[in-house]
Structure 1
Amino acid sequence: MAHTPVNHPARPIYRAIGGLIGLYFVVFGVLGSIGSAGNDFLAQDDTKILGQGTNLGYSLFAVLLGIVILAGITIGRNLDVAINQFLAYALIVLGLAELAFMRTDANIFNFSIATDIVLLVLALVLLMVGMYGKVGTDKEQEAFEKARLVL
């Protein structure tokens, strides 16, 4: 994308923030798996971890999500940018869908309002991390700077 900054000076900070988001998902998923052990995979009960509703299905999904984010951050080389942006958009869609189905039987991940708010905030931060983490050559950075100054 032409409007995405290349070699942003705060890129290491954004990568660290992305790593913290991935770590949060892993920790939440592990705690959720422990807390919902013995329940049905997609149980809709009152299981809460860190103040958020969850079940075994969402907990395992969170662990997988965190591992993918951490793997992308570790590999880098703009793979993390693609992973972070794609997952951010997917998490926004998931959060909005769960918000729409929260009080129905379609709430398969046992979301509460707190879970949904945390997921949407983390998705937006992950999107920001993806937008400012792009790495490129000096030519690409110069082209971005020229295009930015024209706008």
Structure 2
Amino acid sequence: MGHNPVNHPARPIYRAIGGLTGVYLVLFGVLGIVETSGGEFFAQDETAVLGQGTNLGNSVISAVLGVIILAVALIGRNVDAAVNKVLGYALMAFGLAGLAVLRTDANYLNFTIATTIVLMIIGQVLLVAGMYGKVGSEDDAKAFESARLVS
């Protein structure tokens, strides 16, 4: 995308914020796995971890996504920017889908309002980290800056 900055001065901060988001998801997932172990994978009960409704399935998905986000934050080299953008959009869509099935029997991941709000915030954080974390050559940065000044 031509309007996303290249070599943004705060890109290390955005990369760290993406990594911290991954740490939060891993923490939530592990605590959820500990709390819901021995139960059904898609149990629909009152189990909550860190104020969010969860079950074993939701906890495993969160832990896996957190590990992926941590791995790409460690890799860097624009892999983190691309994966963070994709996962940001996906988590926001996932949060909306969870909101749509909140009080139905289709709420297989035991979402609550707090869970959907947290997913939307995490999605937005990852999206911003992905859009501002792109690294490029000096020529790419100069081309972006000259295009920005012309517009």
**Band the TM-score falls in, shorter-chain normalisation:** over 0.9
After TM superposition, the structure 1 = structure 2 runs for residues 49-60 of structure 1, keeping only pairs within 5 Å, are 49-60=49-60
The letter for the 1-side match of 2:11 is R
How many matched pairs?
Answer: 151
**2:83 counterpart residue number:** 83
**2:98 counterpart residue number:** 98
The letter for the 2-side match of 1:103 is R
User: Identity over aligned residues, as a percent?
Assistant: 61
- Give per-residue Cα distances to partners, 1:60-89, cap 9 Å, x unaligned: 000100010011111111000110000011
- Give per-residue Cα distances to partners, 1:12-55, cap 9 Å, x unaligned: 11111001000000000000000111110011000000010000
In the alignment, structure 1 segments of 5+ residues that lack a partner are none
- Give per-residue Cα distances to partners, 1:73-122, cap 9 Å, x unaligned: 11111000110000011111110000010000111110000011011011
**1:136 counterpart residue number:** 136
**2:25 counterpart residue number:** 25
**2:35 counterpart residue number:** 35
- Give per-residue Cα distances to partners, 1:95-150, cap 9 Å, x unaligned: 00000100001111100000110110110011000000000000000000011111
Q: Which runs of 4+ in 1 moved over 6 A?
A: none
**2:122 counterpart residue number:** 122
The letter for the 2-side match of 1:56 is L
**For 2:39, what is the secondary structure of its paired residue?**
coil
Which whole-Å CA distance do the structure 1 matches of 2:92 and 2:115 have between them? 13
**2:9 counterpart residue number:** 9
**For 1:6, what is the secondary structure of its paired residue?**
coil
In the alignment, structure 2 segments of 5+ residues that lack a partner are none
Which whole-Å CA distance do the structure 2 matches of 1:94 and 1:109 have between them? 11
**For 1:38, what is the secondary structure of its paired residue?**
coil
CA RMSD of aligned residues (A): 0.5
Superposition TM-score, scaled by structure 2 size? 0.99
Superposition TM-score, scaled by structure 1 size? 0.99
**1:63 counterpart residue number:** 63
**For 2:38, what is the secondary structure of its paired residue?**
coil
